[in-house]
Amino acid sequence: MIDGLIRTFLRTPILALILAVAIALFGWRAYDENPKDAIPDIAENQAIVFTEWMGRSPKDVDEQVTYPLTVALQGVPGVREVRATSGFGWSIIYIVFNDDTEFYWARSRVLERLNVAQSSLPEGVRPALGPDATALGQIFWYTIDNGWTCEAHPGLRFDEDGHLSSASRMAQLKSDPSLAARLDAAEARHCPLDDRALSFSTVPLDQRRAMQDFDVKLALEGVAGVSEVASIGGYVRQYQIDVSPEALRAYRVTLESRAKAVRESNNYDGAKVVEQNGMEVLVRGVGFLGGVNRNIGDRRQREAATIRDIENIVVKAVDGAPIYVRQIADVTTGPDFRRGALDKMGAEAVGASVIMRYGENPLDVIERIKAKLPDIEAGMPPGLRINAFYDRSGLIDETMGTLATALWQEIAITIAVVVIFLLHVRSSLVVAVTLPLAILLAFICMQALDLGSNIMSLAGIAIAIG
């Protein structure tokens, strides 16, 4: 068969040329579209169910949450194993499926069982399905740090050394190209527009965490290929009601009634319509905390409006006289309880881990994340910047560079050996051309078999051409 192919290509060299060009074109396309990662994904085909039941012991969580869910999830089609762990106020269940089970089909079956099992759980306990990602989905980590800023030009962004960032530089040159020389001559930690000394921002941890949760996180979750952005570090701000025991006894108010009043106050009720002057008027009761001011002004103004509404909540009425929350408690904002922190070079920091969706190309997702970061930074308070401290794209590029280096070395060795022994340059070039074509043909096969590029598969190709 091989002799027949050789004779056919020798008789019709144009056919060999067309075949080589086709392999090169389709191989390059397969190489470009093939998912590239540094580490092979050998994680199990599984789904994770996480449930919170705050303030309960591990034994209570195991008996009333973990056990009912485990029993219900064992009957999901394609399940190979169900593992569970219960802790103080939380439960995690790992549902491991057979390798041939489709990933998203398995998740949909788990959701169906969770809806059925919801009725057997305690009131207020809601299990949540984990992100559609694998253990290797954490492709990008970043922190939100204080940085240099110019009080006269708060729109400018600077790097950690006090130099104008590339995004701000491009924006300034776009508006005024004559600033190029001035921007290049600017000193570090000085504004390039007026030569003022830069100041270092001092945004506290709780505000940076709020910026992460309500701005950065939501923006990055909209990037194609991102499954979840998990916030880490800082303080989660919450409204805290510090009740006075003496005031409770004086007004004869219980903690349960106070909690019920606060819970029922943040509500929105709709009613029917009333016909008035030939028009239908919609009647509704607006009871959201903050009222019309909850979307007006900055975050501090919105928090102040919400605190005022909480203070004015009526707990009970005695002889027609209302008793307000402010009479029995102090309403403030403060940090939520936490059991961990994010440490960066010995100091607390606020950051997040970006988790890639299952089946996506890690390199493409990281590039889209990096392209989104300058737009996010433009809307952040002056001085704050997003710094990446784990970026897998560098490791992926080095992995792909390993194959390129091996290819060039093999081409050089092949040409040298053929020239030395045969003293024929054209023959050495013919043999050398087949090496990259063989690699491109391997990528065509990998794309057809749905195999990604990683250190293991690329090392196999490098060994094969050697």
Average pLDDT rounded to a whole number, residues 444-449: 90
Tell me which of 278 and 323 has the higher pLDDT.
Answer: 323
Average pLDDT rounded to a whole number, residues 190-201: 84
pLDDT class for 129, splitting at 50, 70, 90?
A: very high
Residue 296 has pLDDT above 70, yes or no: no
The candidate with the shortest Cα–Cα distance to 233, out of 197, 207, 195, is 207
CA–CA distance, 455 with 435 (Å, rounded to integer): 19
Residue 200 has pLDDT above 90, yes or no: no
Q: What is the pLDDT of residue 5?
A: 77
Q: What is the pLDDT of residue 292?
A: 61
Q: What is the pLDDT of residue 173?
A: 78
Average pLDDT rounded to a whole number, residues 147-169: 82
Q: What is the pLDDT of residue 54?
A: 86
Average pLDDT rounded to a whole number, residues 216-228: 93
Average pLDDT rounded to a whole number, residues 284-291: 74
Residue 411 has pLDDT above 90, yes or no: no
Give residue-wise pLDDT tens across range 314-347.
Answer: 888 888 889 999 999 999 988 888 878 888 888 8
CA–CA distance, 96 with 334 (Å, rounded to integer): 40
Average pLDDT rounded to a whole number, residues 95-117: 92
Residue 431 has pLDDT above 70, yes or no: yes
What's the full length of the chain, in residues? Answer: 466
Task: Kindly state the percentage of the chain with pLDDT values over 90.
Answer: 32
Q: What is the pLDDT of residue 349?
A: 92
Residue 232 has pLDDT above 80, yes or no: yes
Q: What is the pLDDT of residue 295?
A: 65
Residue 291 has pLDDT above 70, yes or no: no
Q: Are 20 and 13 in contact (CB under 8 A)?
A: no
Give residue-wise pLDDT tens across range 52-95.
Answer: 998 899 999 999 999 999 999 988 999 999 999 999 999 999 99
Average pLDDT rounded to a whole number, residues 288-312: 77
- Residue ranges of domains in the chain, CATH in brackets: 2-36+395-465 (1.20.1640.10), 46-129 (3.30.70.1430), 138-143+203-233+339-393 (3.30.70.1320), 153-200 (no CATH), 237-335 (3.30.2090.10)
User: Which residue matches tokens 């930074």?
Assistant: 377
The candidate with the shortest Cα–Cα distance to 61, out of 80, 42, 87, is 87
Residue 115 has pLDDT above 80, yes or no: yes
Q: What is the pLDDT of residue 425?
A: 81
Q: What is the pLDDT of residue 293?
A: 62
Task: Kindly state the percentage of the chain with pLDDT values over 70.
Answer: 98
Q: What is the pLDDT of residue 60?
A: 93
Tell me which of 375 and 1 has the higher pLDDT.
Answer: 375
Q: What is the pLDDT of residue 220?
A: 95
Least confident of 49-53, 135-139, 286-290: 286-290
The candidate with the shortest Cα–Cα distance to 463, out of 415, 417, 406, is 406
Beta bridge partners of 37: none
Q: What is the pLDDT of residue 61?
A: 94
CA–CA distance, 342 with 349 (Å, rounded to integer): 5
User: Which residue matches tokens 């050089």?
Assistant: 412
User: What kind and span of H or E run contains 363?
Assistant: helix 362-378
pLDDT class for 201, splitting at 50, 70, 90?
A: confident
Q: What is the mean pLDDT of the chain?
A: 87
3-class secondary structure for 412-429? HHHHHHHHHHHCCHHHHH
